[in-house]
Structure 1
Amino acid sequence: MTWTTLDQMDLKGKRVLTRVDINVPMENGVVTDATRIARIVPTVKDILAAGGMPILLAHFGRPKGTRVPEMSLQHLVPALEAAFDCDVIFAADCIGAGAEAAVGALQAGRVLLLENTRFHPQEPANDSAFAAAMARLGDIYCNDAFSAAHRAHASTEGLARLLPSCAGRLMQQELSALEAALGTPKRPVVAVVGGAKVSTKLELLSNLVEKVDHLVIGGGMANTFLAAQGIDVGKSLAEHEMSATALEIIAKAKAAGCEIVLPSDVVVAREFKAGAASETVAADACPADAMILDAGPDTVARIKAILDSAKTLIWNGPLGAFEIEPFDMATNAAAAYAADLSAKGALVSVAGGGDTVAALNQAGAAERFTYISTAGGAFLEWMEGKTLPGVAALSA
């Protein structure tokens, strides 16, 4: 798949409608985590440097088509000005006379922020008239919100059909990383997929077994696969009703030449709490009154050996109950090893979705992965092999 970038657009003197994701956490009117704001800075600064006028479109929270004062983007102006190091003008709507007046008065070197697109019910409906009203405010459309690209909304899909369109720097980064991981990867390819339930990642697993050489399954999902093969997992979290599905995935993997890697040893405990007494046993020797809460050291050694020969790694989810010591051992050890290989240039590692970012940060591994996606649902849908409307609309 190919897409147009900012470098291919003549931005000088142009009004650039730029869809961003600044849906950041706030407490008492103050941004508590500005990661998403920091990630759009390169796009905004590059537009300004090229003589363009960035006009930001974004959602905030779930107002469900009504004006909710606490979900106004006006609260983000101070954080945006600090990040961009320039004035950010706010318009109280994203369409209409007020927005048009704000666009008309916008001066070079400044950024205009339009009000929450989701204050209008026409936004999630991808209403063509609403998209056209936004399109009148700009000359070029730039989508830098990969995290919202799985939504066919007016500001993510509709606008791209109405104006010359391109990907912003963050969108470009995300697409390049995912293309390297799943589109045209260097082989062998390893996927690590963890988490609680097979049922929530069924499409992901089914797609990956046809794309990767090794699929490492961890967390509660691994318990379901072990139980499906007749192994007693005691009181462990497991979806026993998914046994047939787990066996189907194993068969599909075998037919595709993909090795599924399940824990060979596990860490078990009688209580799910920090510092609970635990022991390491073979995967088929979980006591009836215990629960599996992590993969064991032999399993970690096996994962490391697979990573040694791998060229590409896709990581989604933890290998155990990483939030609680000592059940974070497998996740921390495997992630740190993958990070070391990545830092040496021996492995291309791409991670994202769900608890993944938190787990890799806790392991101290995130900064050394090749790419960490904060996109959540869009990252997972891409991994599942789905077409993302916001990306498809940009395809050249």
Structure 2
Amino acid sequence: MKFLKDFNFKDKRVLVRFGFDVPLKDGQVTNDFRIRTGVPTIEYLLNQGAKVILLTHLGRPNGQVVEELRVDPIGQKLAQLIDKPVKKLDDCIGSAVVQAIEQMKSGQVILLENVQFHPGEKTKDPSFINLLASLADFFVFEAFGQAHRDYASISGLSKKMPSCAGLLLEKEIENLHQTMDKTEHPFVVIIGGVKISTKIKVIKNYLAKADNLILGGALANTVIRAKGFAIGKSIIEEEMVAQAEKLELTNNKLHIPVDVVASADPTGKSSSRIAPVGKTEPEEMILDIGPDTVHLFNQIIAQAKMIVWNGPMGLFEVGAFNSGSEQVARAVAQSSAFSLVGGGDTICLLGELDLLDKIDHVSTGGGAMLKFLVNEKLPGIEALK
């Protein structure tokens, strides 16, 4: 794998694929962590006299133009952070894009439109890859959070042009390798979030490698259901129940909620209650972990020497259901263990609580981080080798 130091970028067009998939509210970036992590690479390239062309995705537009998912707010935030103008274009391919890049001077920055507005991104369309590759002389990959996706701008461009890892990706790989090579015990892994389908493989892997594996969030609902407990109208992946049943559900290392916060209303405007697992009413949803579960999880976290965490414990975006995630976040931050945390929602949560600086390494990847740590091959990184 090559790195920035291996190339001379003076007067060259450099296309950098970032993962600036940040939360927005009223057209403003509400958490700029992922943008800030990209600044060192941008400044390095500007100092080298490059013409810097930035590419990212935002949200899930599914191959269509979605006005609310245009990347203008990212360009505005980035301009503030690097204290330089960032010219935002209205597409990522086409004659207007080619013309704007032809007119670039060294030391200037262009931000292309959301790459996922084009269906060719996810289908890895060769003609789309060729159009992107024609825009630049070099390709720099920095979107570690998307490295597990086999998309055009993730794993396709590296095969078409001189390519390397950026400073952020280099740091991610270094820190994650350190975690893998120097695992300390007790080793605790915390996995939350919504989908168990994207994490079932790593859950099985960590059940073998970790001393304790904590599951929370909606993905734990699928495991609770697999154990035969009532979950009411809780979010689950019905098609994954059979897979969850194959997990070692009686393994003493596996910890799932023992009590939950249940409500018929996920907006938090109606009443909610603490219920033992299995005692959820038919019209209720599991929306957070309960106090006994928080106590249990925090006892396990307190004994850890190394912690890996990805995914919140409940619907943390709603005030009535954020207590479990918040208390687990504080326990991880206060722990003397080496802590490695990743994933967009988890980063947002830690940012809101002003705890990011209490974590030893905050990864820009969630699913990518978990897969890297159990030696799964990530297309975005494999393509650079």
TM-score (norm 1): 0.75
Separation (CA, whole Å) in 1 of partners of 2:211 and 2:234: 27
Deviation at 1:313, TM superposition (A): 1.5
Amino acid at match of 1:15: R
Separation (CA, whole Å) in 1 of partners of 2:199 and 2:270: 30
Describe the shift of the 1:49–1:149 C-alpha distance in structure 2 as closer, same or farther (beyond 3 A): same
Aligned residue number for residue 6 of structure 2:
8
Does the CA-based 8 Å contact 2:87-2:109 persist in structure 1? yes
Does the CA-based 8 Å contact 1:191-1:314 persist in structure 2? yes
**Equivalent of 2:210, from 201, 209, 212?**
212
Deviation at 1:244, TM superposition (A): 5.1
**Equivalent of 2:346, from 344, 356, 361?**
356
- Correspondence list, 1:1-396, <5 A: 3-24=1-22, 34-59=32-57, 77-89=75-87, 94-95=92-93, 99-118=97-116, 121-181=119-179, 185-195=183-193, 198=196, 201-222=199-220, 224-226=222-224, 228-229=226-227, 233=230, 235=232, 237=234, 245-250=243-248, 254=251, 259-263=253-257, 265-267=258-260, 273=268, 276=271, 278=273, 286=279, 294-323=288-317, 327-341=321-335, 344=336, 346-353=337-344, 355-361=345-351, 363-375=353-365, 378-379=368-369, 382=372, 386-395=376-385
Does the CA-based 8 Å contact 1:157-1:390 persist in structure 2? yes
Runs of 5+ consecutive residues of structure 2 not aligned to the other structure: none
3-state SS of paired residue (1:163): coil
Does the CA-based 8 Å contact 2:262-2:275 persist in structure 1? no
Describe the shift of the 1:83–1:159 C-alpha distance in structure 2 as closer, same or farther (beyond 3 A): same
Describe the shift of the 1:147–1:70 C-alpha distance in structure 2 as closer, same or farther (beyond 3 A): same
Separation (CA, whole Å) in 1 of partners of 2:36 and 2:356: 16
Deviations 1:73-109 (A, max 9, x none): 5675544432321233456664566545544432232
Identity among equivalent pairs (%): 36
TM-score (norm 2): 0.77
Does the CA-based 8 Å contact 2:120-2:128 persist in structure 1? yes
Max Rg structure: 1
3-state SS of paired residue (2:210): coil
> Number of paired residues?
381
Deviation at 1:111, TM superposition (A): 1.6
Does the CA-based 8 Å contact 1:316-1:352 persist in structure 2? yes
Deviation at 1:163, TM superposition (A): 2.4
3-state SS of paired residue (2:309): strand
Describe the shift of the 1:225–1:6 C-alpha distance in structure 2 as closer, same or farther (beyond 3 A): same
Deviations 1:7-58 (A, max 9, x none): 3333334332212234556677655654443332221111112333312233
Separation (CA, whole Å) in 1 of partners of 2:179 and 2:145: 17
Separation (CA, whole Å) in 2 of partners of 1:234 and 1:66: 36
72-81 vs 312-321, which moves further:
72-81
Deviation at 1:209, TM superposition (A): 1.8
